[in-house]
Amino acid sequence: MRLQVLELDHVAEINQEVAAEVCREGLKGLEMLVLTSTPVTPKALLHFNSVCRNLKSIVVQVGIVDYFKEPHSPEARKMFEEMVNKLQALRKRPGFSKILHIKVEGGC
């Protein structure tokens, strides 16, 4: 039996390299990926979606405090807004519109 649901909660940033390493360990049967309070890059999500062909749902739930130690600074807010916009833009790509769900906590 293969792993079908993977939830990562409060994990360090998931970038493309981390996604590739995790997928190398055998996530081909993954149907649901949930990232809670875990910073993730768009390239990592693209990698998961291309390798895990059975994915039916990707849930990303993040807040500015997950990315920055000083979340109230104007620079942090601007960078967080840009990151959220990049994640949201993935929903326009084929294969993402129905499976990618992004929940943003706090101000953006």
Q: Is the pLDDT of residue 108 over 70?
A: no
**Domain count within the chain:** 1
d(CA 53, CA 18): 18
pLDDT tops 80 at residue 107: no
Which range of residues forms the domain containing residue 85? 5-105
1-29: average pLDDT: 87
Q: What is the mean pLDDT of residues 22-32?
A: 84
The answer to whether 28 touches 1, Cβ cutoff 8 Å, is no
DSSP code string of 8-75: EESPSPB-HHHHHHHHHTT-TT--EEEEES--B-HHHHHHHHHH-TT--EEEEEEEGGGT-SSTTSHH
Answering whether pTM is above 0.85, one says yes
Q: What average pLDDT is seen over the chain?
A: 91
Nearest to 44 by CA among 65, 66, 23, 69: 23
The mean pLDDT of 65-81, rounded to a whole number, is 93
1: confidence class by pLDDT, cuts 50, 70, 90: low
According to the model, what pLDDT value does residue 25 have? 73
Does residue 87 surpass a pLDDT of 90?
Answer: yes
Give percent above pLDDT 90 in the chain. 73
